[in-house]
Chain A
Amino acid sequence: MLRYVVRRLIGVIPTLFVLSFLLYAWLRSLPGGPASALLGDKATPEKIAALNQTLGLDDPIWVQYGKFIGRVFTGDFGASLASSRPVADELADALPATIELAFAALLFAIVLGIPLGYLSAKRRGGFFDNATVIATLVGVAVPVFFLGYVLKQWFAVDLGWLPPSGRVTVGLDQTRITGFLVLDGILTREWDVVWDSLRHLILPAITLGTIPLAVIVRITRASVLDVLNEDYVRTAEAKGLRARTIRNRHVLRNGLLPVSTTIGLQAGLLLAGAVLTEKVFVWGGIGSLLAEGIEKRDYPRLQALILVAAMTYVLVNLIVDLSYALIDPRVRVR
């Protein structure tokens, strides 16, 4: 198992290098560079030229890339053009926010999705099944941005039940340890912070979790249907095993294998949804950083974010493969 993990990790390195160079070169080829972004609307051609020289932006692209990678190895991603803060600090602030949101969204999707999919399969063709199938179609089709906007309008603006944006009410005293606000609240026993940040999580988590929820329901349903038709389930039923035992030991255990892969893939895709969700709910995570970075052509920040996103994606895939290997020993043997 350990050799398998090490082999996979080493395989990731060249992928990351090639990916990062291509993205770096691509970003640099876009019009509108750091100098004109830094100088704003009052930039003159002479000032831009002078700043390009100061920043070393007139060096050849591989020299710039080399310097960039050299700094990355020391944990220095440079400073953001938009905020002039070190990008590493921005990432350290934003990562927990996004992970917290993604975790809540995924939790929402899994906790609701697996039972719904299972029940749908068990009652195949019935009203519940049909309603669920239609709902999941809608769930996949509604744009994240629109859903977020509508949820916010209903529950925050019109009804006033939930806060419209942010991670916590402005001005609420809180101690930050890990950056995960709910967890921090529990650790410090600041129950008002826990309650407040949970309330802030509800709407964005539902928004971000809707597509994964729909996907999980459908995959679970299909997979459970397959398993229900397997001989060993019928055998178990014939043996007179209790329904619960059949469900847990036979149906779910085998039926959830493809679902776990799907969950992993969805987790990787969450970042794309987070860009929009975070913008709608002013969440202050990786998605917001990315959206603002693209709009303002914040190259240092984009370089770092793309690198981190690529690493995350690769890692998530690795974890999925590993969990697969844990659930299904045959994978390890191969």
Chain B
Amino acid sequence: MSVGIAVSLAACADSERGEGGDGDSNATLTIAGSGKPKNFDPIFNDDGESYRPIRQMYETLIQNKAGTAELEPALATKWEVSPDGKKITFTLREGVKFHDGTDFNAEAVCFNTDRWFNMKTPAAQSQMIYYADVFGGFAKNETEAGGDPLYAGCEATNPTTAVLSLNKFRGALPAAFTLTALSISSPAALKKFNADTVSQSGDSFTYSDYATKNPTGTGPFKFQSYDASNGTTTLVRNEDYWGEKAKVAKLVIRTIESEPARKQELESGAVDIIDYPAAQDWKGLESKGMKVEVRPAFNVLYMGMNEKNPKLKDLRVRQAIAHAINREQLVKTKLPEGAEVAKNFMPKTLDGYADDATGYAYDPNKAKQLLAAAGASNLTLKFYYPTEVSRPYMPDPKAIYTSIAADLTAVGIKVEPVARPWNGGYKDDVQQAGKHDLHLLGWTGDFNDAYNFVGTFFGREKAEFGFTDKAAFAQIAAADAEPDADKRKALYEQVNRDLVGKYLPAVPISHSPPAIATAGNIDGLVASPLTDERFAPVSKS
């Protein structure tokens, strides 16, 4: 099983659709995820477990073509960006209705965008993480952490045309309109169920009836119920869906946190699809007649080097470290099949990827020479790695740490390991306090945009890297601000070359493909690099 096979499987699934073999239309499809959804209002969420049910109930203006990160029409059939990048005109699909029977139209789109921009209370604003990320700020920022708003307004020029105005061009748009967070809700339902009410309750927040009991979108499945005690969401087919209707009558999404338990559920036939099977189980599952769909890798794992440490401020030392790591070996032995050594800090499929960026071949002698030249032969470094966590780009942090630490020791660098629980101090120590010298971290992309990777990491000063090069920040900002697609691509290619060759604030390690597994009688699942799987075309026989 390789990524190649999975990708071609995905392609077959595409062509099989609609050629019969649609399975049992009364079937219930059961999916096991690894965590409970937070709530069902797209705008207040930022995690995959909440998005899994939301993606089946809601639609965005633009979506990702199945199995890729390419844009394709969804609720908008067409979109046009003005030359200065400050106006986006959406032509909307006709004949679409929300689950509550009200019409989807340009006014509904503007109602949603206005709602996001005008959201009140610090509680609500703090939970609109993707909105704030893309649109900068709100009509009135309730806390000082708010940024400059990008949104200037929305006008429904006729029922099928919505014109969005921005204060300046932003490279992330229009691709960011594929973000599940920016799904379109029914204005009537938003009003009826007081969607904007986010209340503080002790140290946390509670959400309105809209977010918990009445999510209302336009998607192929409708909300039926949520059993909060075991995290089971039940959705039913939307018989009035504008497009091809769902192949199964009911979709049940269960929460099964433990990975071995998910595997047992699939093997016993209690569930049809499980997410994130462990890489070492892929072959075993396939030998028992299950299908393992490997998602194309849309992530990156890197090892950061904190330049707050004066020794690491020296480029030669960072280059020495890059040469010291045997990444080929690491990828082969510690990462799932299909994983690749990373050359850039973003995946190949994105515009702006530079295939000719400096590679740092495994060369311990060169590493030693560079360290000696920099007068850093007796280097001791605090190497932070997380515990109690497994991320798609980093299935087993300790194994990865061990491999890299051995390589570094081999060139004479003394490594002091510091293990911290992911939610219990790792992110705080590394991303806020910058207590480390070296650390492991990574990222799964949100949408098809280079800034979402390199800008997120290196677009500004961060405690994580101690990287302070103003020229680099300006270079990244200039690429993001360039409205011309070809020019932007060229600028990002240069950014990627320089990040690895000139600045090297971190060592790009790998891209790893996460998987999703299904029972043998399940057809039509297309694994998505963005984990943006849609279950409407999936059939069960």
**Partner-B contacts on A (CB < 8 A):** 30-32, 34, 36-51, 53-55, 57, 68, 71, 76-87, 89-90, 93-94, 97, 149, 152-153, 156-157, 160, 163-167, 170-171, 279-282, 284, 288, 291-292, 295-297, 299-300
B348 interface hit (Cβ, 8 Å): no
CA gap between A83 and B260 in the complex, in Å: 23
Which chain B positions have C-beta within 8 A of A57? 203
B202 interface hit (Cβ, 8 Å): yes
CA gap between A37 and B46 in the complex, in Å: 12
B394 smallest CB distance to A (angstroms): 12
Tell me the residues in window 265-304 of chain B with beta carbons closer than 8 Å to chain A beta carbons.
265, 267-270
B234 interface hit (Cβ, 8 Å): yes
Given contacts A54-B143, A83-B36, contact A163 B228 (CB under 8 A): no
Which chain B positions have C-beta within 8 A of A157? 264, 267-268
Given contacts A38-B126, A42-B133, A282-B261, contact A297 B204 (CB under 8 A): no
**Partner-A contacts on B (CB < 8 A):** 28, 30, 35-36, 38-39, 46-47, 122-123, 126-127, 129-130, 133, 143-145, 200-207, 212, 228-232, 234, 250, 252, 254-258, 260-261, 264-265, 267-270, 388, 420-421, 423-429, 431-432, 463
B252 smallest CB distance to A (angstroms): 5
CA gap between A171 and B35 in the complex, in Å: 20
Whether the pair B260, A149 counts as a contact (CB closer than 8 A) is yes
Whether the pair B264, A152 counts as a contact (CB closer than 8 A) is yes
Whether the pair B144, A45 counts as a contact (CB closer than 8 A) is no
Which chain A positions have C-beta within 8 A of B269? 160
Which chain A positions have C-beta within 8 A of B203? 34, 55, 57, 78-79, 81, 299-300
Our pick among B143, B388, B425 for the contact of A31 (Cβ within 8 Å) is B425
Number of residue pairs A-B, CB distance < 8 angstroms: 178
A176 smallest CB distance to B (angstroms): 10
Whether the pair A32, B145 counts as a contact (CB closer than 8 A) is no
Which chain B positions have C-beta within 8 A of A281? 261
Whether the pair B264, A54 counts as a contact (CB closer than 8 A) is no
CA gap between A299 and B204 in the complex, in Å: 9
Whether the pair A42, B129 counts as a contact (CB closer than 8 A) is yes
Whether the pair A32, B229 counts as a contact (CB closer than 8 A) is no
Whether the pair B229, A45 counts as a contact (CB closer than 8 A) is no
Our pick among A170, A288, A292 for the contact of B232 (Cβ within 8 Å) is A170
Given contacts A31-B429, A164-B270, contact A296 B423 (CB under 8 A): yes
Which chain A positions have C-beta within 8 A of B30? 170
Given contacts A50-B145, A84-B39, A171-B250, contact A164 B265 (CB under 8 A): yes
Chain B, Cβ-Cβ closest to A169: B270
Chain B, Cβ-Cβ closest to A45: B432
B517 smallest CB distance to A (angstroms): 15
Closest 8 CB pairs of A and B: A78-B202, A31-B425, A93-B229, A284-B230, A50-B143, A79-B201, A50-B145, A79-B204
Which chain A positions have C-beta within 8 A of B231? 83, 284
Q: Given A36-B427, A163-B270, A165-B265, list of 4 further CB < 8 A pairs?
A: A32-B428, A83-B228, A157-B268, A282-B256
- A-B contacts, 20 listed (Cβ < 8 Å): A30-B425, A31-B420, A36-B427, A39-B129, A41-B46, A51-B122, A51-B126, A76-B202, A79-B202, A81-B204, A84-B206, A85-B228, A86-B201, A87-B202, A89-B228, A90-B229, A160-B268, A166-B230, A171-B252, A282-B258
CA gap between A68 and B423 in the complex, in Å: 23
Our pick among A32, A44, A53, A160 for the contact of B424 (Cβ within 8 Å) is A32
Which chain B positions have C-beta within 8 A of A284? 229-231
Chain A, Cβ-Cβ closest to B446: A42
CA gap between A54 and B428 in the complex, in Å: 19
B469 smallest CB distance to A (angstroms): 20
Our pick among B230, B257, B268 for the contact of A164 (Cβ within 8 Å) is B268
CA gap between A49 and B144 in the complex, in Å: 10
B24 smallest CB distance to A (angstroms): 15
B56 smallest CB distance to A (angstroms): 16
Our pick among B143, B204, B424, B428 for the contact of A34 (Cβ within 8 Å) is B204
Which chain A positions have C-beta within 8 A of B143? 50-51, 53-54
Whether the pair A32, B425 counts as a contact (CB closer than 8 A) is yes
B71 smallest CB distance to A (angstroms): 22
Chain B, Cβ-Cβ closest to A282: B256
CA gap between A87 and B424 in the complex, in Å: 21
CA gap between A252 and B289 in the complex, in Å: 55
Whether the pair A279, B126 counts as a contact (CB closer than 8 A) is no
Given contacts A94-B229, A163-B270, A280-B258, contact A46 B144 (CB under 8 A): yes
Which chain B positions have C-beta within 8 A of A36? 423, 427-428
Whether the pair A171, B261 counts as a contact (CB closer than 8 A) is no
CA gap between A205 and B211 in the complex, in Å: 36
B144 smallest CB distance to A (angstroms): 6
CA gap between A160 and B206 in the complex, in Å: 40
Our pick among B204, B427, B429 for the contact of A84 (Cβ within 8 Å) is B204
Which chain A positions have C-beta within 8 A of B423? 32, 36-37, 295-297
Our pick among B204, B420, B427, B431 for the contact of A38 (Cβ within 8 Å) is B204
CA gap between A45 and B427 in the complex, in Å: 11
Chain B, Cβ-Cβ closest to A51: B126
Which chain A positions have C-beta within 8 A of B256? 165, 282
Which chain B positions have C-beta within 8 A of A85? 206, 212, 228
Which chain B positions have C-beta within 8 A of A83? 36, 38, 228, 231
Which chain B positions have C-beta within 8 A of A282? 230, 254-258, 261
Chain B, Cβ-Cβ closest to A49: B145
CA gap between A86 and B260 in the complex, in Å: 30
